[in-house]
Structure 1
Amino acid sequence: MPTPTHLAALLLSWVIRTRVLLSKYSAKQHNYAVDDSVKPRATFWREGARSLSYLLARASYPDELRQEYLAFFNDKLAPLFGPSPAEFSGSTPSSFISDDHTPFEFIWAIGRKGNMSVRFAFEPLSPFNGSSLPPRKSMPSLDILRGMPSLDLTWSNICRRTLLFDPPCPSENRVHFQHSSQFFLGGDFETHANTIVGKVYFLPHVRAALEGVSDFSLVNNCISDLGVEDCWGLASSYFDSIPESNRPTIAMVAVDCLEPAKNRAKVYIRTQNSSFNDIVELLTLGGRISDEHVAQTVSAMRHLWRLFFPGVADDTPLSSKRGPEYYPTGFLIYYEMSLGRAVLVPKVYIPVRHYCDSDSQIATALSRYFKDVGLDEVGERYHADLKQMFMHRDLATRTGVHTYVGICTKDSDGPMIYNYLSPEAFAPERHTSHI
């Protein structure tokens, strides 16, 4: 197992409430009109940065800050995405993040008062063939993000040690996985300072399968070592009461790169069932979480449910409109914990790409929702905003740009809506001649 020193090399790039010196990646040092079709990562820069630039401007980030974040995306993130479409011949990368295997996505968070922020998530891939990297091989590539100070890796070290499979030498793997990704990374673009809040996501399914243990047992050990087992116990005991055939599976565990006293641990489950009633049951742990915040989350989910899935009764399971080759189909729910807090905070993710007809239908439903809750300007513009960000295809043809729509309530401002958006860099509608 790699040493903590090696882990530091992996995660030193993910800054936590750090006043990241993004100014040294200032826009003055870059040509933001880059469109060099022979540059290996030109597609990621051209399409990803164009969408990100629009989204940051739409969320009212100051111009200087927006240019610094764009430079960060180009200089530090894009080189970690693996080969671009032009470098593949008859194959695609293995990232599970989006249906076309684009290894990064943007998250557009919209509050009940119209406040907005932008986040990102990505999986570092092999620069040679786009395969998922084992933790030990990803460290050298992530080391280029060194120089961002003041992070604390205590909880990240614990998660890596307890959840990931990372042998010192390659070994033959006789277990088949739908995907072999074990982790990905993300961050929040802060709106008023040159700061990125780093996050790391650990997927324990590989280690669980290879060691012949349950993913829940790995997570229970991890949570115990993090020191939030009392809070997690409420969820764990509830899951134990569910028949195994209906029991959700563990999707991942995420932590911020903050010192333990300021950190959050989030356990993500993936549901087996898909009716509204089933999701509410899991979100509230059978009524064990019943505060006003979760009630508002349930109310917002019901509102969106009726817009996304008109005419579907609360007890009727949804049927995926995608084939079994598309991973994954279940809903995601996370339960957030922190030291000194006794109450779990849940968040639900609706996998709209599996259960809706098209991105246009999803956009229409979201537009209606925003208007219904008094955000007329957001609702009026939402469809047009998407068309400006994702110009490579007609949004009415299929789903894929929206991956999830998340809902969570953490304060008195009411529910936040999180739209997870893929640039679809490997979409068939993109012409190779233009990449």
Structure 2
Amino acid sequence: MTSSQHNPVEGKNDRFSSSGFILAAIGSSVGLGNMWKFPYITGENGGAAFFLLFIVCLILIGLPLLLAELAIGRSGRGSAATSFVKAGGSKVFGRLGLLQVIAPFLILTFYVIVAGWTLHYAVQSFSGALYSNSDYSGQFGAFTQGYMPIVWQAVAILITGWVVGKGISGGIEKFNKVLIPGMIILLIVLMIRAVTLPGAGAGVSFFLQPDFSKLSPNAALVALGHAFFSLSLGMGILLTYGAYVDKRQSLGAATLAIGAGDLIYAFIAGLIIFPTTASFGIQPDAGPSLVFMALPAAFSAMPLGAFFGGLFFVLLAIAALTSAVSLLEVPVSFAMDRWGWGRVKSVVLISVLVLLVGLPSAFSFGIVPALTDMGGKSFFDWLDFITSNILLPVGGLITTVFVGYFWKNAAEAAGLKAGWFRVWLFMVRYIAPVLVFLVLLHTTGILKL
């Protein structure tokens, strides 16, 4: 086979348009964590004061790394593993880059499970069945301990695979061009509903009133971590998407647009969650319990609650599926690049593998007791911990070291003017690696402040 047959990009005209690329990248960064994690950590660490700190961290760690990944991808025109070598790096970086293929694959195995939950809850909310029993915690437990989540998991991976199978411009771009504007409309509708609820003002104040006394070294580490994770860094997505970007596209402008999109989504998510929880006296607790147990109680009590609840879970499903699509594209791109497989064959085989490898995570909510408690965590939680807290920061470190110290073509690939290039290179070489290492120490529990 020729090299063009092995490469998912070279020899083909399947590229993102400028707007399609930015929407797809925003779709990858806008995930479930922004909706249930960001509002909570913001409120817990000083509200608007933390939000400002998060913006600073986004500038220090998020944007420089985001640009670095896009530049490597566009220069290498390969998969997340091979782009390092094709951009001019040694084979060592190709092997290290494999981590950025393995991580998104493993994340996808449990991410589609939660995506399935959101689809199930959207159907249950619109039909009204969700509100027929006020024991929402019991409902969630009964659902996750049964076999229906596996059916919804299969539905989620089918949708994801169908989109990725259609290619870049005909699949991923079209999907995001429909879903991201739809998500924006849903965000605005739900925000208006939330801020006009009785007693919503207290939630808005909690979210937007700065309390600088709550800022601490630990809050800084939390903000750093979220700035890193919220942009989907260290998991090969932006490396892979960068390979499909036209050479005329300004990567600097795209980086700012993607960062702004992520920030706006997180901000509006806060204006949905906090007013709603304040209005109904719900603790804005982190994690799935807020979304699948606490918020249904709020929707059941508000006028047209089944409708607004349905919209909320559709919003979550969109966030989950746009992220799932970008996660699947990483191993698919690698399979096409490494083994010369066609896109459809790669999608089918990897999707089946995702489903099979994901079964232990699906079974770890009670179906198989041995998987439910494995040293204090379920199989699902362990997989989440290892991928998110170890593999992703390590992936980020590999990128900063490569760009900062080994990549001779960084200036040309980034496409920045001389002054901005020097600033960016300084950030990638000296600031970002230290901050990513701090994130790694903090998320693994080694560093506690």
If the TM-score is normalised by the length of the shorter chain, which range does it land in?
under 0.3
Whose strand fraction is larger, Structure 1's or Structure 2's?
A: 1
Which structure has more relative contact order (CA 8 Å, sep 6+)? It is 2
Give the alignment's TM-score, normalised by structure 2. Answer: 0.26
Give the alignment's TM-score, normalised by structure 1. Answer: 0.27
